[in-house]
């Protein structure tokens, strides 16, 4: 049984366009809310958390709904089609509304005032302008909600498509490829950011129509490739046939029969989801606030450090998929948890006097650990899904991870304010990552079944 890498890459185009969108969204929307509308950081932060809040509720719902769809294009493709079209159109509309607001900002000569006035004064002036004419902000937020809802409708179906067309023992390898496709989407948008110079301070009042148009074009390119080459229904049927040949199909003998998890399987599912939430809390508490910690506490440049971590993860994806196929997902995840905890533990001892170069191998180690966990955790969840429930279980996975990403900055920030960021930042991450080691240790299900190699006679189709 071999993985069809070409097929997985084509299926991964859906995750490519999803990752491209989120990279652009996280980079641009906070800048627009702050610089063009002058919103306070608290208000901006609430808006930026909407995607995670919506995801907690919508991802499992639309994952489960897609399980029940039976169109001629398959179960997941209709959601990807409708969601992508609405998301790209409304994303472009967002740029026009922003440009409309920017015209008022420029008319008030705020960009010129910003060259000499304090940041606090400029933001206050911009906010007062927004309050005097709130219609652009209302339109922007309403359109943003449409974008976020559209993206939430097809994320679970898009991710569930990989296990739909991939036999269970090969899903860790396939998930490694899917993660690479997501990284490719993110990196493509990062390059566009460099081309359009979106991160330069002097471009704080630039119109983002060109940049968002380019990002939308990248999303549509991935979408068109997906539509032209992916044959969801055919590939899913071929996967079921192959799984039946190897005795690993979970298709019920009687159509319409509902499978239930055994008590032991249910405990394993809860423990896996708890592990997902715990390591996401630990990891996200570091990555979401590292720019602040590096700048204000250590005096380090944070950009290259995060790039090193991402590069290490990208390089690790495929080898980790191969390793887990040999040693099992649970053991590989436990090793990844220890690697990640070790990296964060080393970070505890890094001070402003430490050479900045020391942080690069630390974050490279963290990137390897995170890749080792990430490649195997989702396949463990959908391994427990019975026939026709893959979308629902994909939603469970994202509910756990998204809920953790809501909790992480709030809980860690609360402790930073009480104890001090210097003393909590890395220890907090270490603690929650180690908590996940404990819960994962008791997981008994979710590893793929080993497939015995066929004999030479079977390969030659010799016999009765």
CB 404 within 8 A of CB 284: yes
Residue written as tokens 């390898």? 173
Check whether 51 has a pLDDT greater than 70. Answer: yes
CB 445 within 8 A of CB 386: no
CB 38 within 8 A of CB 175: no
- First and final C-alpha spacing in the chain: 22
- pLDDT tens, residue by residue, 178-208: 989 998 898 888 888 888 888 676 777 889 9
- DSSP state, 74? B
pLDDT at 250 (0 to 100): 62
pLDDT at 458 (0 to 100): 35
Q: pLDDT band at 300, cuts 50/70/90?
A: confident
Q: Structure pTM? A: 0.81
Between 43-47, 71-75, 377-381, the lowest mean confidence (pLDDT) is in: 43-47
Domains and CATH numbers, the chain: 1-245 (1.20.1250.20), 259-452 (1.20.1250.20)
- pLDDT tens, residue by residue, 61-106: 999 999 898 888 999 999 999 999 999 999 999 999 999 999 998 9
C-alpha R_g of the chain: 23
For residue 184, give the nearest of 150, 221, 229 by alpha carbon: 221
CA distance 384 to 424: 36
Check whether 45 has a pLDDT greater than 90. Answer: no
Share of the chain above pLDDT 70, in %: 92
Per-residue pLDDT averaged across 262-289, rounded? 91
49: part of which helix (H) or strand (E)?
A: none
Q: pLDDT band at 232, cuts 50/70/90?
A: very high
Mean per-residue pLDDT of the chain = 87
What stretches of 288-328 show up as alpha helix (H) in DSSP? 290-292, 302-327
What stretches of 197-301 show up as alpha helix (H) in DSSP? 209-229, 232-245, 263-287, 290-292
| Position with higher pLDDT, 442 vs 242 | 442
């Amino acid at each position: 049984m071999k993985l069809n890498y070409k097929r997985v890459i084509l299926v991964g185009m859906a995750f490519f366009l999803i990752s491209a969108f989120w990279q652009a969204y996280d980079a641009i929307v906070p800048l627009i809310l702050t610089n063009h509308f002058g919103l306070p950081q608290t208000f901006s932060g609430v808006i930026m958390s909407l995607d995670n809040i919506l995801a907690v509720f919508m991802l499992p719902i639309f994952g489960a709904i897609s399980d029940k769809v039976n169109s001629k294009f398959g179960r997941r493709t209709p959601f990807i089609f409708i969601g992508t079209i609405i998301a790209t159109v409304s994303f472009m509309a967002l740029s026009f509304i922003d440009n409309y607001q920017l015209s008022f900002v420029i008319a008030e000569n705020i960009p010129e005032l910003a060259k000499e006035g304090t940041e606090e004064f400029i933001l206050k002036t911009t906010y007062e302008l927004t309050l005097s004419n709130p219609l652009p902000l209302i339109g922007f937020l309403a359109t943003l909600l449409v974008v976020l809802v559209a993206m939430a409708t097809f994320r679970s179906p898009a991710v569930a498509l990989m296990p739909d067309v991939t036999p269970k023992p090969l899903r860790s390898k396939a998930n490694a490829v899917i993660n690479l496709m997501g990284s490719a989407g993110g990196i493509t948008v990062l390059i566009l950011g460099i081309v359009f110079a979106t991160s330069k301070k002097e471009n704080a009042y630039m119109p983002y129509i060109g940049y968002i148009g380019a990002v939308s074009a990248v999303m549509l390119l991935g979408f068109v490739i997906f539509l032209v080459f992916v044959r969801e229904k055919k590939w899913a049927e071929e996967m079921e046939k192959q799984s039946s040949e190897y005795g690993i199909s979970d298709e019920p003998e009687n159509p319409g029969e509902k499978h239930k998890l055994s008590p032991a399987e249910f405990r394993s599912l809860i423990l896996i989801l708890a592990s997902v939430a715990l390591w996401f809390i630990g990891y996200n508490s570091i990555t979401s606030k590292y720019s602040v910690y590096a700048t204000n506490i250590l005096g380090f440049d944070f950009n290259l450090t995060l790039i090193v971590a991402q590069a290490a993860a990208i390089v690790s994806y495929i080898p980790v998929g191969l390793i887990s196929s040999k040693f099992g997902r649970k053991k590989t995840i436990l090793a990844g948890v220890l690697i990640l905890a070790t990296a964060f533990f080393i970070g505890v001892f890094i001070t402003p006097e430490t050479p900045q170069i020391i942080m690069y191998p630390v974050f490279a180690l963290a990137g390897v650990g995170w890749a080792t966990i990430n490649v195997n955790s989702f396949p463990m969840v959908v391994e427990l899904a019975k026939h026709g429930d893959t979308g629902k279980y994909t939603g469970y996975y994202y509910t756990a991870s998204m809920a953790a990403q809501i909790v992480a900055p709030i809980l860690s920030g609360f402790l930073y304010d009480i104890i001090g960021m210097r003393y909590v930042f890395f220890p907090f991450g270490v603690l929650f990552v180690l908590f996940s080691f404990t819960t994962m240790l008791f997981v008994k299900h979710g590893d793929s079944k080993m497939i015995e190699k066929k004999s030479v006679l079977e390969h030659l189709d010799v016999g009765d």
